[in-house]
Amino acid sequence: MKVLVSDNISLRGVEIMKKAGLDVDVRVGMKPDELKACIGQYEGLVIRSATKVTADVIEAASKLKVIGRAGSGLDNVDKATASKKGIVVMNTPGGNTMTTAEHSMALLFSVARLIPQATASMKAGKWEKKKFMGVELYHKTLGIIGLGNIGSQVAKKAQGLEMNVIAYDPFLSEDKAAATGIRKVSLDELFVESDFITIHTPITAETKGVINSKTISNMKDGVRIINCARGGIINETDLYEALKSGKVAGAALDVFEKEPPDNNPLLTLDNVVCTPHLGASTEEAQENVAVAVAEQIADYLVFGVIRNAVNFPSIPNEQVPRLQPFINLAEKLGGFSAQIFEGAVTEITVEFRGAAAEINTAPVTIAAIKGFLTPILNETVNFVNAPIIAKERGIEMKEIKSSDAGDYNSMIALRIKEKGRESYVAGTLFSKKDPRIVLINGFKVEIVPEGELLLIYNNDKPGVIGSIGSLMGKNNINIARMHFGRESAGGMAISVVSIDSVPSPEVIEEVKRLPNILSVKQISL
Q: What is the rounded CA–CA span in Å between residue 308 and residue 298?
A: 13
- Strand pairing class (410-418; 421-430): antiparallel
- Confirm whether 230 is a catalytic residue: yes
Distance of CA 232 to CAs 206, 208, 222, 278, Å? 11, 6, 22, 17
**Residue 211 · residue 239 · CB < 8 Å:** yes
Q: What is the rounded CA–CA span in Å between residue 10 and residue 257?
A: 27
Q: What is the rounded CA–CA span in Å between residue 369 and residue 396?
A: 11
- Confirm whether 259 is a catalytic residue: yes
Q: What is the rounded CA–CA span in Å between residue 214 and residue 426?
A: 57
224's enclosing H/E stretch is strand 223-227
Question: Of 66, 25, 62, 31, which Cα lies nearest the Cα of 45?
Answer: 66
**Residue 329 · residue 377 · CB < 8 Å:** no
Q: What is the rounded CA–CA span in Å between residue 268 and residue 264?
A: 8
Q: Given strand 196-199, what is the order of strands in its sheet?
A: 183-184, 164-168, 141-145, 196-199, 223-227, 248-253, 272-274
Q: What is the rounded CA–CA span in Å between residue 227 and residue 22?
A: 38
Question: Of 438, 329, 439, 347, which Cα lies nearest the Cα of 396?
Answer: 347
Of the residues 69, 103, 200, 230, which is catalytic? 230
**Residue 417 · residue 346 · CB < 8 Å:** yes
- Confirm whether 277 is a catalytic residue: yes
Q: What angle do CA 213, 216, 218 make, to 5 degrees?
A: 120
Of the residues 136, 162, 259, 396, which is catalytic? 259
- In sequence order, the 6+-apart residues with CB closer than 8 A to the CB of 337 are 371, 372, 414, 416, 423, 425
Q: How many CB atoms lie within 10 A of CB 456?
A: 23
3's enclosing H/E stretch is strand 2-5
Of the residues 48, 69, 277, 483, which is catalytic? 277
Q: How many CB atoms lie within 10 A of CB 347?
A: 14
Give the active site residues. Answer: 230, 259, 277
